Every structure is written in C-alpha cells, then in structure tokens.
Amino acid sequence: EDLPVAHIRRRAGPDFIIGATAKTVQQAQAAQAAGANYLGVGAVFPSPTKPGAQRLTPEELGGICASVSIPAVAIGGIGPSNLAQLKGSGAAGIAVVSSLFGAEDIQAAAQALAARLCEKGITNVSVYDVSNTHVSYLISEAFKYSHIVLASVTYNLGIYPVMKNFLEDMKALNLQNRTFALIENGSWACKSGDLMQKFIDEEMKNMTVLNERLSMASSLSDDKAVELDALADALVDSIQS
C-alpha cells in the first residue's frame, strides 16, 4: 500500500518528487492537495502484474486527468495492441511493465528451446504464455506432461507475478513427480531462476530440477547457444532415461 502523500511530504521536504495512485477524481484531487507531483492512474487494462486491480474505463481515466493540474500517467496492462485506445484521454504519459519486462526475449528463448528439442527428436512439445493462457488450462497441461520448463523474467527482484501464481496453483493442486528446467532473464539482477528452484524444492513434493539452466541478461545473445544446447540435451537425457 502507498504511504499517505502528506506524510511523505512532511518527512521528505518540498524538493522530493512524490507520485500517488488514483482510481477516482476524489483520490486524484486529494493527492494533488496533499503535495503529490504526479499520479499513476489505473489499471486501464487487465494487468498480469496486478491481476486483481480495479479497472478504469477510458472515460474515467479522462475525467481524472482533467480534474488535476499535475501530470497523470496511465498504468495497467498497456502495450502496443491497446495503446491507441488511450488517445485523447489527457494522460501525460504511460507506464509499461508487462509488455517490456523481457516478454519478447523470454518468449524467444522458450521457442528456441522448443525448436532444439524437436531437432533432437522430442516432438511432443507445447509452449504457453502464462500471461495470456488461463491458469486452468496451464494446470491441465502440467498434469499431462512429465517435464516442464518454466521461463520467467526477474520482476522487482522476484518471480514474475503470473509465473509465481502458476507455481502456487501447482502446489495447491498437489502436482508431484515432475522434472523442471528453468530459464531466467534479468537485465541487472537475475534472481528468478534461484527463486523458482527454491519454491519447487521447498514448497512442492517429489520434484526434480535439472542442474542445467539458461540465464539471460535481457536478450538471447549468440553466446548463449552453448547454455541452450546444454539445457536441451539435459531435457532429452531426462525424458529418454
């Protein structure tokens, strides 16, 4: 939860830049009166980083932007496919998380691994985006396959929220006796792989995590081919053993 703007202003002084979250005109005006320098307004679209967030209509966004004189930044589920819908809202800018947090890079790595596995004779391979696939379907697939590859970016030094939710759901439904391989991505502090392994080891039953792992710093560079091949070989050996 956000600390009250007035409390932060008293402690930080007049030169500190303070942002506040607003979902209504009343909240926006109160934050401005308390000393906020800018607002984050949303969520304007469904967001995988905050799946339970209250949705605002474009009209509500426009009303909030028009009600204050400080900049209002639209937040929540914004990406190339829906950005045009915010035209004319009065928002001073947008905040993008889920569309930029290594989504294309982690997808490229997952697809590259799937291609390697097919080349090595493992053809029963499926790839799903946890941000856009209903968790009930992901769970049904997890019960169908013996080996599961989890690919996650590092988000706020943790596991990407929808991937963490998937892990929690597998635990809650008592999925057991599976082998996992891990792909992690982080531009400056790559933590997701270690955290996923810790969760699997400590929170789930009778699971195996392969030692081989693909770690990326943002994009899947050419020098990662050796790691990718090693991970594919480890999966093939495990599947065929």
Q: Is residue 220 predicted with pLDDT exceeding 90?
A: no
This prediction has a pTM of: 0.62
Q: What is the mean pLDDT of residues 55-62?
A: 91
Query: Of all helices (H) and strands (E), which one includes residue 150?
Result: strand 147-155
Place of tokens 């480890």: 234
What mean pLDDT, rounded, does the chain reach? 88
Report, as an integer, the average pLDDT of 187-206. 91
Least confidently predicted of 30-34, 104-108, 119-123, 203-207:
104-108
What pLDDT score does 58 carry?
87
Whole-angstrom distance, CA of residue 31 vs CA of residue 41: 12
Mean pLDDT over 214-227 rounds to 80
CA separation for the pair 27, 33 (Å, rounded): 10
Confidence label for 96 from pLDDT (cuts 50, 70 and 90): low
Kindly state the tokens that stand for 130: 């946890």
pLDDT score of 98 more than 60? no
- Per the CB < 8 A criterion, the answer to whether 20 and 31 are in contact is yes
Specify the pLDDT at position 1: 57
Give the C-alpha separation, 62 to 91, whole Å: 7
The per-residue pLDDT for range 127-170, each reduced to its tens digit, is 998 888 888 999 999 999 999 999 998 887 889 888 999 999 99
The pLDDT value recorded for residue 100 is 46
H or E element at residue 155: strand 147-155
Whole-number pLDDT of residue 49? 62
